[in-house]
Structures are given as C-alpha cells and as structure tokens.
Chain A
Amino acid sequence: MTAAATDTLRRTPLHDRHAAAGARLVPFAGWEMPVHYSDGIKAEHVEVRRGAGLFDVSHMGQVETSGPDAEAFLQRVLSNDVTRLREGGAQYSLLCREDGGVLDDLFTYRLHRGSFLTVTNAANHERDFAWLAEHAQVFDGLSVRDAAADYSMLALQGPAARVILAGLLEEGEAPARMRTARARVAGADCLICGTGYTGEDGVELLTEPDDAPALWDALIAAGATPAGLAARDTLRLEACFHLYGHDLSEDRTPIEAGLGWACKLDTDFIGADALRTAGDPADRLVPFAFTGPGIPRQGNPILVEGEPAGVVTSGTLSPCLGSGIGMGYVPAAAASPGTPIEIDVRGRRRTAEVREKPLYRKEH
C-alpha cells in the first residue's frame, strides 16, 4: 500500500539533489519533498536566521492571468485591491468563497500591465484553478492558464540571501522587497520575487524546470544551505505567517484569521458581502508562547480561565526562543496580548500566554 502510494508521488526536478544532500523525503500534498537534510531542522532554521537557506518550493502552483479584463477579474476573485498592485509589484490576498470561507492564501505578482502570476499552495492548486476558471467565464478579454508545469521555484532566504544572489546575477538586478524583476542568474532566466515565508529578507526564484538543478547547484556552491519543509514551518510560525489547512480553512473567515488588512471590502470581491454583514467575529486567531515546558500541536484544546475555549491550529518548539509556540483560535475577549491561557497537550495542561505578532523578532 505504502509503496504503491509512494510511486504516484510527484517529484521536483531537484529530487536527486535532495537525495544527494541526505534529505529525508516525505509525501507532502501529492509530492515527495525534503522535510530536512542531514544536519537537521534546528541547524537549517538557525542558518536561515543568520546566513542563507535554500528551499525547493517547486510543489507550489502558478496561475497566469492575462488580457484586458485580467485586472477586473482578479479584483473580483482576490480579496486585496488589485488596482493598487503596480507593474513589478507583489500583493498578498485571500481567495474566498461567497460565505467568506478561505479557499487559499496567495501571492500575486503583476508582471506587466495586463499580465499577472499568482502562486498557489500545492494542496489547493487544482481546486484554486478550477475556481478561477469557473469565475473567468463571465469575462471576455481574459486568459486564465494553469502554469504550474512551466516553473520550478526556489526560495533563497536569510540575511545573506541577497549577497549570494548578487554574486550570481549575470543580467538584470535583484528586486526590492515586495517587487519582482526578470534577471539571469547563474545561466538561468528567472523571475525573481522579493518575497518569502520565513520572516527574513530574501527572494523567491521562478525558473524553467530544466534550469532548476544548475541554479540550485550554483546557489549551494555560493554558500546557501539546503533547508527543508520542517524548517520552513518553524520559521514561518515564529514569523506568524499563516499556513493553509492549519490556520486558514474554509470554516474560518480572513477577519477571524487576522487578515482583514488583506481584504478590501469596497472592491466587492467574492465573499466581501458576507464579511461585511458578519460583524465582529466571535473568535480570533492569536499567536501564543508557552511560559513553561511542553510543545503545542495542532488540535490541542485551548483553555481560558480553565474552560475549553479554543483550539491550536499550528504548534511547534521554537528553535530561536527555545519554548513551545503556536497559533490558535480563541474567543475575541481572550485575544489581547498578555492574556494567560492554557493548552491541553494530550491531557496535561501547559501554561501559555497570548503574544504580539511576530513571536520572534530579530534584535538589531
């Protein structure tokens, strides 16, 4: 059974690079992906905080939207104000259902005036594309194309990321944060995006799958450390970035999830009416940190004043703080930073405290 399931997993063009670097490969959203390499999660995490880590995120999907109606279409389906997305810019938004439930969270880049690239979560890509294609039908001057097979995607993250990139740039320049640029890097034509998922400065590089292995090799040779999905998760949780399927779902609205800043209700996106009439949410997603021992895990009950009141959606041991950290939904009255809470970790009550975002901030 297991062997058969493994056979159907998709592999990125970097699969043999991962194996050679001692990766432990696991099934993730239909892909066989590196969860960590031989030095382990903590070492990779710390390297991204003080040097540069390189992640293969080729499992993520891409959708290209173009044509005279592309902006109007994206304005309808995405929660943010797409008219404010400049050429060469990046914007975070949600894809919502009519009732405000979240289908995915995504970054959209405006490549040219009427040409956009949207990056989807691997587990949601097919559903996202079907949703987009369905809602595209009422627009005329529009092409919505599944471009996932056209790109491999590498995330180079950490304080040394831009130094490493600069040494390999052959044509073009690196983009500023939240900007994109076309450039040639170590022989590969890339779309470089000044975005990431670690709370560090860095870039994401989109390139043709055939060019990805040589680009990976060049970045590693220039000093980047391979980092896997487990470190990506601990890094994003310290930074309090949401993970779909954990902190975001169809059962929660972006307002409950603290993503109201990415929802511009006056753009009348799908879901805006429901969010407008819903009023203040009963629950809020909050970051928290343990004040004693233990590690929270997804699904653990959260207790407020001793009573079950919420649930953990993400939890781990923070490699930088050395304590258990997580995010979870609690009643709005208990959402203020400093509120003491308890987490029921498999029958043992652990003490914790609601914190400000982010849970970890680098000292300057």
Chain B
Amino acid sequence: MAAEQSYPEDLLYHDEHDWARIEGEEGTFGITWFAQDALGEVVFFDPPEVGTTISKDQPYAEVESVKAVSDVVAPMSGEILAVNEALGDEPAAVNDDPYGEGWMVRVRLSDPTERDALLDAAAYEKLVQKS
C-alpha cells in the first residue's frame, strides 16, 4: 500500500513534516512521506474551507489515522484556493502518493518570500534521519 520513502527535490519542506510545491504566487501543500509513515493509514482528512486564510507555522487541517490525530501545519501563509475533495473518499491517497494524489490544499501565497525559511530536500532528509 504505502509509497517508498522519498523527498522530491522540486519541493520545499517545513520541519513539521509538510511540503510545499511553489508555482509563482500559488502553492500546493501536503504532508511528507515521513509524516504519513509515522501516522499510519490515513482514514480521515478534515479540510479547511476554500477562502479561509492560513498562517505559516499554524495548523490549517487535521489528518487522522486509525490510531492518532495530527494537525497539518501550513508551511507558508495565504488564502485557500482549493482543497483536495478526493481525500474525502480516498484519504489513503495520503499514504499511497503523499506528493501527488495526496495533496491537501492549493493556496494563494500572501508572502512568497516565506519560502526562504523552508528546507530543501537534502536538509529535510537530514532532519528526519536524526529523528
């Protein structure tokens, strides 16, 4: 079921185990392979509403496995443009394809320079190897 461990180089990473794919002034967010592995099989994703504002380092959604609940932390600030509705029916996509089908929200970034505080794949991988 679960994907192989990976941290794609085209993404940026937050140390609370979230990733961001930045395209101009928009970003797509999700949780990393490490996060989904620690959580186990994801069975429920509680998304924010489109139009709400989220803040860097603050929780914006919840993801639950059979055994645990975890906040999903925003790697950057902005306004929610879209949520991955498909996770309502298939939350396990977060396990199967954390960087693809398991994306969580699409955001209009309010401050694209916040990316400077995020980690690249190599730095993030070093971080998770220590924990």
On whether the beta carbons of B66 and A316 are closer than 8 Å, the reply is: yes
Task: Tell me the minimal C-beta distance from B105 to chain A in angstroms.
Answer: 17
User: Contacts A42-B41, A293-B44, A295-B43 known; A234 to B1 CB distance under 8 Å?
Assistant: no
Q: How far is the CA of A39 from the CA of B2 in the complex (A)?
A: 9
Residue of A whose beta carbon sits closest to that of B38: A24
B93: shortest Cβ distance to chain A, in Å?
14
A230 & B67 in contact (Cβ 8 Å cutoff): yes
Query: Are B43 and A36 in touch, CB under 8 angstroms?
Result: no
In the assembled complex, the CB of A303 is this many whole angstroms from the nearest CB of chain B, namely 19
Contact (Cβ within 8 A) A346 B1 = no
Given known A-B contacts A41-B41, A42-B41, A317 and B62 have beta carbons under 8 A apart: no
How many B residues have CB within 8 A of the partner chain? 13
Residues in chain A near residue B127, CB distance under 8 A: none
In the complex, which of the residues B2, B46, B66, B88 contacts A317, with contact meaning CB atoms closer than 8 Å? B66
Please provide the 7 A-B residue pairs with the shortest distance between their CB atoms, ordered closest to farther. A317-B43, A41-B66, A40-B41, A295-B64, A230-B67, A295-B44, A41-B41
Q: Which of A40, A316, A346 contacts B62 (CB 8 A)?
A: A346
Name B's A-contacting residues (CB within 8 A). 1-2, 40-41, 43-44, 46, 62, 64, 66-67, 69, 88
Contact: B44 with A40, CB < 8 Å?
Answer: no
Residue of A nearest to B69 (CB): A297
Cα distance, A234 to B1, chains bound together (Å): 20
Inter-chain contact A39/B1, CB cutoff 8 Å: yes
Whether A317 contacts B64 by the Cβ 8 Å rule is yes
Kindly list chain B residues whose C-beta atoms are within 8 Å of the C-beta of A293.
44, 46, 88
Q: Is the CB of B64 within 8 A of A36?
A: no
